[in-house]
Chains A and B, each alone.
Chain A
């Protein structure tokens, strides 16, 4: 946990300094009749830099054993699988479309995570894709991404 604090503290410190500096550089701090667009961002960045420094100092001083916050082995594999499948679905949304994408996503994850029996997997995938289509596309009129096959 402490190494995570150190990394987060350093990254946030850099972000905060850039945030404040960027505010002063690009926007006006004080306008004709009051604070300008840079006023609040400048101070927010300053306070954030202070907090990030506190976090960093705390991580520096602590000598306790390192706590693992990311899972290992099986847990990490499951996490990576779910996240990877989600990223793939979002990236391919304009190619495979929402309906087909939903069905494929469900099949992949249900088989991968739990070896869900095929009949249940296929039924659920079809049902969720169908309900999703009916509720959002038909009822709410949301123009969902279509697949290259036109549905």
Chain B
């Protein structure tokens, strides 16, 4: 069978000692990054990306994907223990996880999250394995109009789902697209907006931007407030972590629902793990027979969202690998990495680089097992790492930002660029703009422009081409709805407010 031989190929790649080591390193660093407040999955991937330039791409993506899975669990530890989410996909876990910890049930909360993450991650990979090749084959029929419409949908949905106000989300996205215009135009050869500066002629590299926005920007935001929170002493032996029979009965369907919901939310372009956790929490509260317990330590409130975020992290790989459209800020940075390694994400990836794709898929199974073992056996170690004071951690992260930005092209120019975007990232975070939308737009911008121009070249009816081909039409209408609906709603709300005021 074709399918099994592919998976066999994948495992033969993933089980080499170096790749096993990379998966392990990815999971460990991921848990740490997830647990540390201020650095989330996008920062982790951006900061580690420079390290992968010395490896072959398969080892690189294995490490980054394992890291992504690890961060999803790492954030849980701080959410449960100190009510501070390490990253945004663990925000809802605070609601019931911390309450459980206050009742002396931190162990089962962490345990059910670990088990749920394992189940969701593993089923997520199964779904990834089943869905991706089919989707890749289907998308082979895509021409430039479909590709452009799909990118438009990805850009508008990520904007819809991040940032405080729609206007600020769209401004972030457009700013990213404007940055993407800088440098040589692929068709005419004009060096646009380069002002004669050689470094600008090659365009604005996304890596220093991503490191600045997500690495330095987050650190600066954390710098202003001295953080020092005591971590309660809890015993984390295997016996304390194992949920009892009653917990199990209450959690099993929550895990199942979280897995399915999370995966499909992850697949949607633009919606990532964070959205999945909020939806899962709402769903669990709705179907629960005792909704009044939510917010007071209901274990379903931990099990569902924690499963959903791991499944979504896996699901977000599907559009990235098959269509070349990332589903979240983290996968946008991974996509940028893929392009730097010289791979072209999209339908042809499955045919041209089977060892890469299937190696990644197989390594995700292995990474999930590693995650389960580490998250049950090594919790005391991770908790100890959390006690490292922020004053020691922060300068180290900044050094990592500088080294990472420099090592891309061995140029101090890139470091300066990282610095500028670090300050911008800080301001964007404080003022409610969306760094995720900017990054996604910067990565997709050149590809979207090429698809748009190719579409208009083959079109006899101008922009009408995006409405005349069935797939393109559906995608375009969906993208326009994603822009229009929230704008109309905001205007209605403003009109109501004015009416009430007068």
Contacts and interface: CB of A to CB of B under 8 A. Distances in A.
Interface string B9-32: 000000000000000000000000
A27 B415 CA distance: 30
Contact of A71 (B167, B174, B224): B224
Interface string A93-133: 11000100010011001100110100010001000100010
Interface residues of A, number: 69
Contact of B54 (A113, A139, A145): A139
Nearest to A8: B431
B220 A79 contact: yes
Given A35-B453, A40-B181, A41-B178, A98 B403 contact: yes
B193 interface: yes
A126 to B, nearest CB: 13
A40 B452 contact: yes
Nearest to B228: A114
Given A51-B171, A109-B391, A37 B190 contact: yes
Nearest to A18: B193
Contact of A93 (B391, B415, B431): B415
Given A83-B423, A110-B392, A113-B394, A90 B416 contact: yes
B407 interface: yes
B168 A69 contact: no
Interface in B185-229: 185, 187-188, 190, 192-193, 216, 219-220, 223-226
B402 interface: yes
Contact of B174 (A47, A78, A128): A47
A55 B171 contact: yes
A60 B457 CA distance: 42
Interface string B30-48: 0000000000000000000
A105 B399 contact: yes
B134 interface: no
A110 B402 contact: no
Interface string B430-461: 11100000000000000001001110110000
Contacts of B226: 74, 78, 113-114
A34 B453 contact: yes
Contact of B399 (A12, A76, A132): A132
B412 interface: yes
Given A78-B223, A114-B391, 12 more contacts: A19-B178, A23-B192, A34-B457, A35-B456, A39-B456, A48-B174, A52-B171, A81-B223, A93-B402, A105-B395, A106-B395, A132-B403
Interface of B: 50-51, 53-54, 167-168, 170-171, 174-175, 177-178, 181, 185, 187-188, 190, 192-193, 216, 219-220, 223-226, 389-392, 394-396, 398-399, 402-403, 406-407, 410, 412, 415-416, 419, 422-423, 430-432, 449, 452-454, 456-457
